[in-house]
Structure 1
């Protein structure tokens, strides 16, 4: 036995892997990756006293919660006086009802008996408790395992330990995929192996996906055939995969569904505070909703506070966005957006809520009335994923209107000297128009009560932004590189301001800015470096 103080993290993982391999050889289960995960369950059970112990098992849809729990059940059941495994507990409870289900499994007769009971797919804690007749009616040293996709359900079931079923690693994933894709013999063609690894990478260790993809790609003898078929699968996930994730999606509230779809379609890998700010402006209560999606393993928050979503889940989310309703509300594919913006009479634009258009390698000549009927458009982002955009949007006849409901307006290289005169920006939370041709935002007084961020950096024709003085919620003003800007907005009334970037604004006098921010001294606005013209709290 290697002392723990000698092992570093990688050594410890290697020891666990060796132990798991040896146990699988001695006591084969046929479940790939089982023992390495069962070790985590054993560690939790070691904390069990002689009382009844409730263990919660959760994880991403399709990750193998039921598979791991079933294998553990088969391994441990001989140590208990009685045992039962209820697969699809929620469905059975709904179909059969409480009394019939209890009768089928002799629950009343198991009182005071040392039992192992596994309830798979619990969605309502009251159903679990009523089925068991309470959590404390069984014999000492009983073990109740509750499986759920929702960590909050496990909290409500008052479990004493949480076990998260982790995804398969790459080695395990390839082994499982090969079982289904190449049941006779693992491929020897190096190109075929490389394509298989791509599939495994994409599935991200999800058991259900690896099994499904393996069946779909079974016996594809040529690498190019497998690659083409795999691309089709990514664009249109198999129905069995859709069903796995759709059952989780169907339990979400309307706000949670909107948050999930917006992130899948538009905001994956973005900073958490940015997403919260925009979706709060949409009225979706994202501070609660994002936490609920994390509890359901549909999202992750990274250490640097970015919102992460597995590629597989993103593609399922995008497929739901395309197929859930008879009309499409979220658009991100340039080939679909281009005709929408160019046509004289595009259809069903009133249903569109979000457009994110990557202009790389595409020319679009925008109809001046393109946005006229997009009454529900909340999110508009026109950008280039390339550092050197080769193509762009053209507005040869100008732009007549922008939607009233816009919360996010992000348009890189905006080509006109102002925004449409009749545009009402009262719902805007963020304006992001870097490298624009703007000379001014608009004329007249507009309501900007919700605006928190404005970035007009490198808009080298910009002369003034006086109207920002009335945006009382503003937190950030970025005017970096606006070389023709003649004056800054009056910021002495902007009590929430946390950042003012005037770097490279050659016509702005530093002394005047410093004098202007004096009323904000209590808030801590300071020049971050003498002469930088960047002021922050």
Structure 2
């Protein structure tokens, strides 16, 4: 048996995964004939890779397959490496245990057809990657299984997978254990840190990436440092978390980015019909764009209400803040009442401002002059 399971699995990460592994094993239907492929889908940082590796390790150890290969970070590898052809060669050579295997030869395909293999393709971003990395799933031997992890559900639909596992956030209890393993190197926090730990859990909201990053950062730090970090978290998302979450945003079209930022800044928790009606006023039909955001696990919908993870919302707002860190009047969107008051009362608005929402319950008194909305006698607000 030839095995390559990628980076070692950290035992600290194996919290709350047993039931998830069982669900994925049911989708895989190990032992049945035919080639079966399934997808593990979810937002960045939610633990798709950890889960896929745990499943791969378990079923590989039980000797269900003649060969097993875990291909990590396909998105990164395809960007920095020698293209998808080189990656395809890497997969085939590893499966066969033959560094000279010719991926285009009939002989190589016949060899693959006689083998029962497990292949994990991690962090796939588009269907082209799947098409080129494994051109014909049917050439693999009967009983072979393929697991694909992705942030984009449409990739899995295009692959005609046999099942999709939607990765949930960690439940309370599991999130406390994962955070404690990184922050304290034990199963639960010490009593004198418990209240601070619970506050951190509220911020992370079940996202494993955030729990691990924050736990590692706070390991062996004082209570005063913990308190300081909690204050800073209300200002911005830690860079390690921001970079992972932003990958999905960077892959959006301009219109999809527009819709995502509007939802993050203004419309989280609003009815989808209302959001679409507002966005459609900007000369495009937002229905399909919102569907794409759902497929990319950037937003979710329940009972026709759009919502998103708190950290994804904060990421979106941070993107807008970075448009002009010191001058809110040069940002595209304003939602913070202090920023809005500063812009309006000091006549600091510009044409860059696309929209704003002011929560009047946070404003005791507001006196504005007409000049706050004009520049040289003309309105500063686009379209007015």
The bucket for the TM-score relative to the shorter chain is: 0.7 to 0.9
Task: Answer yes or no: is the 8 Å Cα contact 1:129–1:135 preserved in 2.
Answer: no
Matched, 1:37 2:37: no
Task: Answer yes or no: is the 8 Å Cα contact 1:301–1:308 preserved in 2.
Answer: yes
| Structure 1 gaps, min length 5 | 1-27, 375-398, 406-423, 425-537
Separation in structure 1 between the aligned mates of residue 301 and residue 240 of structure 2, nearest angstrom: 27
Cross-structure match for 2:98: none
Cross-structure match for 2:162: 160
* Alpha-carbon shift at residue 362 of structure 1 (Å): 4.1
Matches within 5 A, 1:78-477: 78-94=63-79, 95-105=81-91, 106=93, 108=103, 109=108, 111-112=112-113, 113-183=115-185, 186-190=188-192, 192-222=193-223, 225-303=225-303, 305-324=304-323, 327-344=330-347, 346=348, 349-359=350-360, 360-373=362-375, 403-405=381-383
* Alpha-carbon shift at residue 402 of structure 1 (Å): 7.2
Q: Normalized against structure 2, the TM-score is what?
A: 0.85
Separation in structure 2 between the aligned mates of residue 88 and residue 56 of structure 1, nearest angstrom: 15
Separation in structure 1 between the aligned mates of residue 151 and residue 24 of structure 2, nearest angstrom: 17
Cα displacement string for residues 18-56 of structure 1 (whole angstroms, at most 9, x for unaligned residues): xxxxxxxxxx89611121111111221238740100111
Q: Higher relative CO (CA 8 A, sep ≥ 6), structure 1 or 2?
A: 2
* Alpha-carbon shift at residue 187 of structure 1 (Å): 3.4
Separation in structure 1 between the aligned mates of residue 337 and residue 12 of structure 2, nearest angstrom: 49
Cα displacement string for residues 105-156 of structure 1 (whole angstroms, at most 9, x for unaligned residues): 3164462111100001111212212111221110000001111100001111
Distance change >3 Å, CA 48–CA 80, structure 1 → 2? closer
Task: Answer yes or no: is the 8 Å Cα contact 1:170–1:201 preserved in 2.
Answer: no
Cross-structure match for 2:51: 68
Task: Answer yes or no: is the 8 Å Cα contact 2:345–2:368 preserved in 1.
Answer: yes
- Pairing partner for 2:42 from 59, 72, 79: 59
Task: Answer yes or no: is the 8 Å Cα contact 1:265–1:330 preserved in 2.
Answer: yes
Cross-structure match for 1:416: none
Separation in structure 1 between the aligned mates of residue 338 and residue 217 of structure 2, nearest angstrom: 28
Task: Answer yes or no: is the 8 Å Cα contact 2:12–2:178 preserved in 1.
Answer: no
Residue 371 of structure 2 aligns to a residue in which SS?
coil
Distance change >3 Å, CA 39–CA 343, structure 1 → 2? same
Task: Answer yes or no: is the 8 Å Cα contact 2:351–2:380 preserved in 1.
Answer: no
Distance change >3 Å, CA 120–CA 185, structure 1 → 2? closer
Residue 111 of structure 1 aligns to a residue in which SS?
helix
Task: Answer yes or no: is the 8 Å Cα contact 2:177–2:188 preserved in 1.
Answer: no
Separation in structure 2 between the aligned mates of residue 150 and residue 247 of structure 1, nearest angstrom: 11
RMSD (Å), alpha carbons: 2.4
Cα displacement string for residues 473-522 of structure 1 (whole angstroms, at most 9, x for unaligned residues): xxxxxxxxxxxxxxxxxxxxxxxxxxxxxxxxxxxxxxxxxxxxxxxxxx
Task: Answer yes or no: is the 8 Å Cα contact 2:88–2:132 preserved in 1.
Answer: no
Separation in structure 2 between the aligned mates of residue 158 and residue 216 of structure 1, nearest angstrom: 41
Cα displacement string for residues 152-193 of structure 1 (whole angstroms, at most 9, x for unaligned residues): 011111111111111111101011111111126843335x21
Moved more, 194-203 or 50-59: 194-203
Task: Answer yes or no: is the 8 Å Cα contact 1:64–1:208 preserved in 2.
Answer: yes
Cα displacement string for residues 228-248 of structure 1 (whole angstroms, at most 9, x for unaligned residues): 312312321111111111110
Separation in structure 2 between the aligned mates of residue 253 and residue 211 of structure 1, nearest angstrom: 31
Separation in structure 2 between the aligned mates of residue 185 and residue 43 of structure 1, nearest angstrom: 29
Q: Normalized against structure 1, the TM-score is what?
A: 0.61
Distance change >3 Å, CA 29–CA 314, structure 1 → 2? closer
| Structure 2 gaps, min length 5 | 1-10, 96-102
* Number of aligned positions between the proteins: 350
Cα displacement string for residues 200-236 of structure 1 (whole angstroms, at most 9, x for unaligned residues): 12212111011111123323432x6423312312321
Residue 227 of structure 1 aligns to a residue in which SS?
helix
Separation in structure 2 between the aligned mates of residue 56 and residue 266 of structure 1, nearest angstrom: 32
Cross-structure match for 1:18: none
Moved more, 61-70 or 289-298: 289-298
